[in-house]
Structure 1
């Protein structure tokens, strides 16, 4: 395994990393690894547009036109 040294990190970032590590009950180094893995190795989620683009073409817009009833019905009668 490789080693990674990160220099010139803002003190607030280091404090936040240590606080998050404490919440998870792990070392700051382990938390750093967890964050890097989550950011770089997990599959990227699809955007809404990408998800919409995967919907198959199932017909024309006219196939799904709304038909309005001419009669009003009272649902409480």
Structure 2
């Protein structure tokens, strides 16, 4: 796990974090972790794969059962 040091945190902010942690029944450090987690990785965030799947469906979907041409491609010539 990584660690993080926060310098120059105003006393008022630290007191507010301690009070918030006490209300939640956890340490100040655990409260700060919970806050950072909820901001950095919200539960309602849209994940890239889900977004791409939705865009594909809006564009008419994708037929994965189409017949594919399996003949070898001719190499490019740069001459």
Indicate the TM-score class for this superposition, using the shorter chain for normalisation.
0.5 to 0.7
Give deviations 1:5-41, integer Å, cap 9, x for gaps: 1010000000000000000000000000000001110
Root-mean-square deviation over aligned CA pairs: 1.7
- CA displacement at 1:44 relative to structure 2: 4.1
Structure 2: runs of 5+ lacking an equivalent: 47-79
Structure 2 residue aligned with 1:24: 24
Q: Distance in 2 between the 1:44 and 1:11 partners?
A: 32
Give runs of aligned pairs for residues 1-77 of structure 1, distance below 5 A: 1-42=1-42, 43-44=44-45
Segments of structure 1 that go 5 or more residues without pairing to the other structure are 46-77
Question: Aligned equivalents of 2:17 and 2:45: distance in 1?
Answer: 23
- TM-score, length-scaled by structure 2: 0.54
TM-score by length of 1: 0.55
